[in-house]
Each structure stands twice: as C-alpha cells, then as structure tokens.
Structure 1
Amino acid sequence: MTSPPLRDRYAGLRADLCAASAAALLVLVAVLVGRHIQDTRRTLFVHWPPLFAEWDPHLGPGTPAAVLVAVAVVAYGPAVAARLPWRVLLLAAWATALAWTWSLALVDGWRRGVAGRLTTHNEYLTVIGRFHDLPAALRDFTHHIVSGSPGPWPAHVAGHPPAATVTFVLLDRAGLRGGGWAGAWCVTVGATACVAVLVAVRALADERLARRAAPFLVLAPAAVWVGASADGYFAAVAAWSVALLALAVTGRSAAWAAGSGLLYGLTCYLSYGLTLFALVGAAAVLVAGRRRPRPLPIVLFLAGLAVVPTVFTLAGFDWWEGYRLLVTRYYQGVGGIRPYGYWVWANLACTVLITGPATAAGLRRTGVSLARRRTVPRAESRLALLVAAALLALLVADLSGMSKAETERIWLPFAMWLLPACALLTRPRGWLTAQAALALLLNHLLLTGW
C-alpha cells in the first residue's frame, strides 16, 4: 500500500487534531455546565461533574512507576509492538497493562486505591455473609432489589444480576478474602481485556492493525477505573467472549464458539446492560461472514450461551424479573433525580476521559473508513465496522437513560472496543503522550470514586 501524499497526510492530521479538540471542548462544557447544575440544584450527585470524583491533588507510592511505564510505552511501545513475535506481544501487552493499572491504582495508596474499593457500603463484599447458603440466596435474590423491601441489597448488588456478587463469594470461599484479593482479581483479570481485543482485531482485521493498536490498549486512560472496580473484570469477560467468537468465525476452530457463548452468557449475568455486546458479536460475525460463512460456530455459540442462563434459572433467579425490579430501584434513588438532559451528552464526555483524545481522532478516521469502505484497505474497513458496533452499543446504553453518571466505570467494557480506532492514526507517539498525560493528570488531580 502506497503512502498518501504529504498534503493529504497533513490534512488528515489537522482533522484529527480538530476531532480531539472538539472532544476536549465537550469535556470542558460538561465540567462547567455540570458544576453550575450541581452548585445551584444539587441534582447531579457527583462532586466533580461529569466524573464521580473529588478534587484532590496528590501523589502516591504508584506515581514513579506510573510515570516510568508511561514514558517506556510512549518511547518504545510502537516499535516493540511491531517487532515482537505475536504470542510474546500478547504476553507483553498483558504484563504492561498490569503494570500501568497497578501503578495508577497505587497512586491512591493500597487501602484507598485497591483494598478499600470493593468494601464500601454500596459494594459487593458487604453482602458476602448473606450468601452462606448460595442456592437459597439466589432463589431469594429478586426479593431484595427494590428499596423498601426487607434487607434491600446495596446499590451495586441490586444493580447487577447475581453472577457479579457470586464471583466475590466464590473468591471468599476459595480463601481469597477481603478487599485486597477482590481488587487484585479485578485488576489482574481486567488487564487481560486488552489481550482479548488484540486477538479479535488480528482475527477480524489484520495483524498490522492489531500491532498498531497494542500500545493504545495498554496505555488506556480507562486503566484509572479498571484498578480496582468490578467493571474492569466485566470488561475482560465481555472482551474474551468477542475474541473467542472472532477466532471461531474466522476458521481457527469452531470449538472456540462454545467458549464464546459461555462467556457471553456470563457477561449477561454480570451486568444487565452488557447484553448490548450482542451488537459487537454480531459485527464480528458480519465481518467474518464476508469472507467465509460458517454456520457451525453459531450453533456452538448458542449451545454455550444457554449454559449460564440455564444454571441461574434452575437455581431460582429470574433475569427478566431482576431487570424489571432494577428499573424500579433505579428510579427510587438518584437515578430518578439526575437530569437526563445533562447526562445524555455528559456521559459522552466521560467516555472521552476514559478513552482519551487519541480515540476521538481515531473515531474520526473510523467514520472516514466507513464512508469510503470501497476504497480503503479491507482490513481498515473491517476494523471500522467493529469499532462502530461498539460505539452503537454505547450510544444505545446512553439513550436508554439507565446510565446517568458513573459511566467512566460502567462503560469500561465498551471503551475497550473504541480504543482500536487509534490503530488508524499517524504519529502514534504524539497521541500516546496525550493518552498518558490525561491518565496521569486524572489520577493525580482527582480522587476517583471507583
């Protein structure tokens, strides 16, 4: 493929900078308007809108490591990602993502940044003792979702299907008790999401684009919230469901489809909203189907998909009833007070902050690739379709009104699939610098709530 003329390259860079500037302007407006609404009406229920965070400039034990990882990835990431053997690259990406996420979490210290995150009054670990009889707890789960019911669940337990809570119950029973182990689980598993996305991009687009995306997936500002929130763990499960499906439908092995279905079923029982990952999975099938339609993986996917819903249904949990009651609970609390007219666009400002300015520019290039799909390289067109599906899922979640605020955490699973758009950018080191600077500023100037 020949390089575009110099004039076209500079025009593309200017357009990228305009897209990044527009994203920055969106964040600025969300901050100013949000600050005014919160000061005058007190209806946002966040202290540093649009983020659930407080202004708290600070340094911590993770600061030196975070800066070191950022400098190393900016300086060497693109070159190393281009040269390492593929399997070594995947291992290196996971290790670097772990280092980046842990160092950012430890900027707030061990207790405040990791061990205490999942032990607050709204979190999962506060109800471990109520699951000593697991089958009985699952049968009784929906009876405690609505506020005013006997022993209502804390917000995060009520707001998710029981697989989220059961995960931490099983960790506790395995001897990995307390917030430290729970936080370590979320960070360790959550960091694998970048590997899953790389596997999918290579299978559905090509290896060159996956290698170009790798440093951006590793150095994502989203890592501020992956360490340590349960949504980082959810993001990894959802990502691997798509990755295994990508391997299956592109002919690696149809058996991967069963694993994909199993993980997608688990995803739906970790978070109601992540059923929208069906859009990303459908895009994977559509992209692969252009080359080789294969019905067997779909059959195996559906077989795997049936497992988790069957287990929970037989155990006594009704997913649809749980979701219906959650809607009631949501509007009983701050969800019924937070103004939709602000959050429907301010949520997108949160997305800018977790995906960074490079992703805003990458999404512009994604739109161009979709508009010119007959003239751009096929791999870029396939990548653009995958990213667009993730963006569509995010927008549906936004319009639903069930994600008003805190989307910097809630939308981590979708954010991971927007980041590959950065593979379409030129001058990766400059964009990586912007990504790292944003993450470091957010983590050192704000005390995030998750």
Structure 2
Amino acid sequence: MLLVAAAIAVGWWLNRRHVPIYAGSAPLFATPGPHVGIGTVLAPLVAAAVVGWLPRLADRLGWRRLLLTAYVAALAWILSLAMIDGWRDGLTSRLTGDAEYLIDVPGVTDIPVMLRTFTDRILDFQPDSWHTHVSGHPPGALLVFVVLDRIGLGGGTAAALLCVLVGALTAVAVPVTLRALGDEPAARAVLPFVVLFPGAVWLGASADAIFAGVTATGIAALAVAGRRRGPVLAAGALLGYGVFLSYGLVLMAPIALVPALVSRRLRATLFALAGAVAVVAVFAAAGFWWYDGYRLVVERYYQGIGRERPYAYWVWANLATLVLAAGPATAPILRRAVVALGPAAPGEPGGAGWDGRGGGSGAPRHARPAPPGAVRRFLGRLSTGPVALPLAAVVAIVAADLSGLSKAEVERIWLPFGVWLMAGAALLPARHRRWWLVAQAVTALAVNHLVLTVW
C-alpha cells in the first residue's frame, strides 16, 4: 500500500512539473476518470459469487467440472469488468486505435511477403513503418489477427473477444500445472485466486491477454505431458510461438523450468526445447530472424517515448503497478514463498522427524535420505509448485524491470508473468484466503471505476 501510494504521489508530482512520464494516472497507463456502467452491477455480483461459492466448489467438484467452472467464472469476471466501460469502450474499440494491431491488418495481403520484409518496417520515421504495437512485437502477434480476419472474423469485437477467450485460459492453466506437479490440494486452493485475478482488467481486452493465455497453456501442457515425446514437443512449440508473440516472453524461461525442477524430468524439458527451436526454424525459413527483430525493436523503443520516460521513476513504480495488476495478495504470497526457502522446522520437509508422508516420526527416516549439501537442500525446498512458480515469476519480472525496456504499461506487459504469482496462494492460511480474495476483487473494481484504462 505504501509503494502504491508513493508511486501515485510521485507520479502526480512529476506530471505537475511536466516531466515526460507519459502516464496521466501514474503508475497506471490511464487517465483520471471515475465512471460507472452496467459492469458496476455485474462485476461485484461475480466477485461475490466467486468469493462465496468457488472455494467450497473447489473442494467438492470433480476435476474436469471444476476446470470448466473456473473458465466460465473467469470469463464472467473479465467481461463484467470490461462492461464498467461499456461494450464499445470496454471491448470493441480496444484494438482499433492508431497504435494497435488491427490498423495494420488490411495492409497484409501476402503473409510470406510480410514475414520476409517484417524487419524492414520496424524502425520509425519511414513511410511504411509498422504502427506502434506491430513494430514492437514479433510478427506472430500480427499474424494472429491477420488469420482471424482471413477467416471472416475481422474487426475490433472479434479481436477483443479472442483476447478474452484466450486470456481466461490462465484460470485453468495455473491449477492444471500445480496438479500435474503433484499438488492437487494446492491446485484447488489457488483456483479462485486465478479466476479473480485483478489483471482481468487488462485481459479484457489487450493482445497481452493472448500472450498470457498461450504461454500459460504451454507451461501447463509441459507439466502434464511428462515423458510423452509428442505432447512435450507440442508444449515446446506452443511456448516457442509465445516468443514470436512478444520479445519479452523469452523471460518465461524460469517459469518453464519449474516442471523440470519439481518433477526431475530433464529429458522432457529437452524435448520441449526441441519443439521451441522448431518454431524458431520455421520463422527463420519464412524470412524472419528473431534476434534481428529484437535488435531493431530496442532501437525503435528509444525512438519514441521510451527514450523520454525516466528510468529512475519507472524502475520502482513498475512494481507498484504490479501490485495493482496482480493484487495485494502478492505480498503475503511472496513473503511465504521466501520463508519456505529457509531452514525447515522439525516435522517439515527436510526437518528433524520428517517421514516423507507429511508428519513427524520422532526420528529421521532414511527411505528417501536428504541429499547432502546446502545447495541441494535449498533446491529441495524450492521444488514445490506453490513456492517455485511465484518465485520464478519474480525472476522474470525483475529481469524485465531492470532491462529498462518495460518503463510503464506493465499492467498489461507483465500479465504472462503476474498470473503465476497466484500459484502461491496455497501458501496462505486457509482461514485468511477469503479475505485476500475480497482484497483482490476490490483492487480490480477500484482501478476500473476510478481511471479510464487504455487497454
């Protein structure tokens, strides 16, 4: 709360002095504007239903029915939040602005030519430069909307609904991953938190919702696939395509390594890497080399407002934005994840009296002896999904933040990372979870009612 308050106060002060932070409601990329809409009624009802019923359903429903319930609830939450702004402003016009993908879709008449010449149009100040979002991403993102248009689903409404439908997959992917890593109780515990994710404000609708949904599904597929080569290759291909949706998604690597860390399936990770490399090879054969695009995007970034936005403000204000997008539950989740890495207490994994079945026996059992060495003990404590996934997300977020290529707008840019912070919600005491769910919902409702978001 102090971090958010400081970012708001300093952002207001910088705007008053005309420092070019380019965010009217800093640290959010939005403009001040309290407003209401039909979603003002719908969104609190959805939140109340999730808080009141979903934790109990998560304990009782069969797994497949629970996942379907979670997906429908996530869709309802995303769409009801969007309806606070109204159908047109909340969905239809989100991807039709001058900086967005759809403005370049009509000009793509030949997909192979587009891929071969894509890098030629990245830099600004030339007659045929791509518009902001197309130039700032690999061609995979534009390709999604071009294909959508080719199959007869052109326009802002179809594009926005695709973002919502794919973004809502995060509510399924995170619990599926945890269950595949051997922790079904944790998977059921985190499910309401992923459904009621405050980042749903930007899942409906920005293209980053697609990025989050695709990469989350890829992680889940990697965790589920296990030792089966075909599915693992497919999971790798999905994650590989994610890298061609956004350059920053190479930072999904720490999260993608968690299934290998927890399950000890290094071979599966290598097969997944082969699937990702195959995607890179296909794009290279089509004429687009990822690194060339990345190098030019960095140059394009400093041709625009990225050059003027002060790093000294955004390097810490970005983290305040993350609190608003991931919710205040992030703080206790991360505290508990870090504490879990400390020395194990008696009766806990690795502690005196641990018998490998979750209870103390009074004397150490040696059926599964603890590996010697501090590093191996540390890795042992790290190798649980609720601890490893949020901490891996933190690694990705810190790297993105320090790079200086994520100055502002991270409420949408970091959605693919932020959703994995919720994997640690199982670490919260059961008696506190409903209150944290309420705090998550209130955060999203406050943001969407008090400011006019761009995405």
TM-score by length of 2: 0.90
Question: Partner letter of residue 210 of structure 1?
Answer: A
Deviates more, 1:74-83 or 1:297-306: 297-306
Question: Which residue does the alignment assign to 1:147?
Answer: 124
Specify whether residues 181 and 372 from structure 1 end up closer, same or farther in structure 2 by C-alpha distance, changes over 3 A only.
farther
Offset of 1:306 from its aligned partner? 2.5
**Secondary structure of 2:239 counterpart:** helix
How far, CA to CA, are the matches of 1:278 and 1:357 in structure 2? Answer: 25
Equivalent residue number for residue 245 of structure 2:
270
Once the two structures are TM-superposed, the CA of residue 307 in structure 1 deviates from its matched residue by 2.8
Runs of 5+ consecutive residues of structure 2 not aligned to the other structure: 350-357, 359-380
> Could you tell me which of 384, 392, 398 is aligned with 2:387?
384
- Shift, 1:380, TM fit: 8.2
Q: Describe the SS at the equivalent of 2:452.
A: strand
* 1:444 is the counterpart of 2:449: yes
Query: Which one of 322, 326, 330 corresponds to residue 297 of structure 2?
Result: 326
- 1:103-142 maps to which residues of 2 (within 5 A)? 103-142=80-119
- The alignment partner of 1:447 has SS state of strand
Amino acid at match of 2:305: V
The aligned counterpart of 1:397 is: 400
Name the residue aligned to 1:344: 315
Which secondary structure does the structure 1 equivalent of 2:197 belong to? coil
CA distance in 1, matches of 2:270, 2:310: 43
What do the CA deviations read for 1:5-26 (whole angstroms, capped 9, x no partner)?
A: xxxxxxxxxxxxxxxxxxx110
Contact 2:183 2:385 (C-alpha < 8 Å) held by counterparts:
no
Aligned mates of 1:423, 1:107 — CA distance in 2: 30
| Alpha-carbon separation, structure 1, partners of 2:22 and 2:182 | 42
- Out of 8, 14, 36, the position equivalent to 1:31 is 8
Matches within 5 A, 1:24-173: 24-173=1-150
Letter in 2 for 1:436: A
**More displaced stretch, 365-374 vs 25-34:** 365-374
Residue ranges of structure 1 left out of the alignment (5+ in a row): 1-23
Task: Identify the match of residue 409 of structure 2 among 406, 409, 412.
Answer: 406
Deviation of 1:363 (Å): 1.0
Structure 2 residue 291 is the aligned partner of structure 1 residue 280: no
Tell me the SS of whatever aligns to 1:54. Answer: strand
**Structure-2 separation of matches of 1:185 and 1:100:** 15
Larger % of helix: which?
1
Cα pair 2:389 2:423 within 8 Å, conserved = no
Preserved contact between residue 242 and residue 281 of structure 1 (Cα < 8 Å):
yes
* Secondary structure class of the residue paired with 2:405: coil
* Matching residue within 420, 431, 434 for 2:436: 431
Any conservation in 2 of the 1:204–1:383 contact (CA below 8 Å)?
no
Summarize deviations over 1:274-319 as a string: whole Å, max 9, x none: 0011111112211111xxx452x23431332123212211111121
TM-score (norm 1): 0.91
Percent identity (aligned): 50
Instruction: Write the deviation string for residues 156-214 of structure 1: whole angstroms up to 9, x where unpaired.
Output: 00000000001000000000010000000000111011211111111125000111000
Whichever residue aligns with residue 242 of structure 1, its letter is I
Distance verdict in 2 for CA 1:275–1:294, change over 3 Å = closer
2:328 is aligned with 1:357: yes
Kept in 1, the 8 Å contact 2:261–2:383? The answer is no
CA-CA distance at 1:140 after TM superposition: 1.1
1:303 and 2:274 are equivalent in the alignment: yes
Larger-Rg structure: 2
Say whether the 8 Å CA contact 2:138–2:245 is kept in structure 1. Answer: yes
Aligned pairs, how many?
421
Q: What is the one-letter code of the residue matched to 1:275?
A: V
Contact 2:386–2:427 (CA<8 Å) still a contact in 1? Answer: no
Which residue identity does 1:283 align to in structure 2?
A: V
Residues 89 and 372 from structure 1, CA distance in 2 versus in 1: closer, same or farther, beyond 3 angstroms?
farther
Q: Which residue of 2 aligns with 1:203?
A: 180
* Superposed displacement of residue 331, structure 1: 0.5
3-state secondary structure, aligned to 2:288: coil
Counterpart secondary structure, 2:125: coil
Residue type at the aligned position of 2:434? R
8 Å Cα contact 1:205/1:383 also seen in 2: no
Per-residue CA deviations over 1:232-255 (Å, capped at 9, x if unaligned) read: 110011111111111133x5x443
